[in-house]
Chain A
Amino acid sequence: AQSVTQLDSHVSVSEGTPVLLRCNYSSSYSPSLFWYVQHPNKGLQLLLKYTSAATLVKGINGFEAEFKKSETSFHLTKPSAHMSDAAEYFCVVSVYTGTASKLTFGTGTRLQVTL
C-alpha cells in the first residue's frame, strides 16, 4: 500500500521569500513521485517528477524537490515566491503494481502569497 502525507494544509509566504511545501510518503515499491499544481477552478499541471534518476529534481517555474529515501520525503521548494504561485499543490506517489499504474494523492497544500 502507498500513502502520501502533506504536512501543511496551508502555507503563507511573502512575495520574494522562499517556499517550502512538505511531503512524506510511504510505498511498498520503488515509487515515482510528483508535484502537481492546481490554480483555482483549473485542472492539474505537472510541476516536476522523480523517477529514480537524480534525487534533486528541477521543475517548471523555478520549483525543485529533493527525494530523500532515508526520510521518505519529497519536499517542494522555490527560492523566491511570486504572486502567481498562489495555488493548491498536490504531492502524488505513483506505483506500478504489474497490473496498472496507480496514483495516490495527498490532501493538498494551499499556498498563499502576500505582498
Chain B
Amino acid sequence: NAGVTQTPKFRILKIGQSMTLQCTQDMNHNYMYWYRQDPGMGLKLIYYSVGAGITDKGEVPNGYNVSRSTTEDFPLRLELAAPSQTSVYFCASWVTGLSSYEQYFGPGTRLTVT
C-alpha cells in the first residue's frame, strides 16, 4: 500500500490564483481529512469527509472547498488564494472499526502565496 499520497509537494501561487491540492489513499478508509499547519503551530482541521458524497467543515474552512466523489480521493480547492493561506497542508485518513482512532497522514504540500 502507498498509504496517503499528496500532490504537489510544493507550490507557489500568486494572490488571486486558484489551485487544487490532491489527496489519494489506497487503504479503503471512509474518513478523510484536510489540515493546515502554520509555522510554529499544530495542525488545524479545514474539512473532513465521512464517505463519498459527504463532507463537513472543520475549524478553519474559510477560503477552501472540498468534494468527495470516490472513497480514494479527497481534493482541496483554493479559490482566490491569499497570503494567509501560506501553510503546509496535510491530508489524512481513518476507517471506522479501528479502535485506536489513529489517522494516517500524507507527506504534506507546502504552499506559498505571494
Q: Which residues in A have some Cβ–Cβ distance to B below 8 Å?
A: 4, 32, 34, 41-44, 46, 49, 51, 90, 92, 94-96, 99-103, 105-108
Contacts and interface: CB of A to CB of B under 8 A. Distances in A.
Interface stretch (B19-27, B66-74, B100-108): B100-108
Given A99-B50, A108-B41, A108-B42, A44 B101 contact: no
B56 interface: yes
Given A90-B42, A100-B48, A43 B31 contact: no
Interface of B: 31, 33, 40-45, 48, 50, 56, 90, 92, 94, 96, 99-103, 105-108, 110
Contact of B107 (A34, A43, A46, A95): A43
A107 B40 CA distance: 7
Given A99-B50, A107-B42, A34 B105 contact: no
B31 A101 contact: yes
Contact of A103 (B41, B50, B96, B103): B103
B68 to A, nearest CB: 13
**Is chain A's binding surface mostly helix, strand, loop or mixed?**
strand
Max count, chain A CB within 10 A of own CB: residue among B41, B92, B99, B103: B103
Contacts of A99: 50, 56
A22 B31 CA distance: 30
B108 A43 contact: yes
Contacts of A92: 42
Given A100-B31, A100-B56, A44 B105 contact: yes
Contact of B101 (A43, A94, A108): A94
15 contacts: A42-B107, A43-B105, A44-B105, A49-B102, A51-B101, A96-B101, A101-B94, A101-B101, A101-B103, A103-B33, A105-B42, A105-B43, A105-B44, A107-B42, A108-B40
B33 to A, nearest CB: 8
A16 B44 CA distance: 34
Contact of B99 (A34, A42, A51, A107): A51
Given A51-B100, A99-B50, A43 B41 contact: no
A90 B42 CA distance: 7
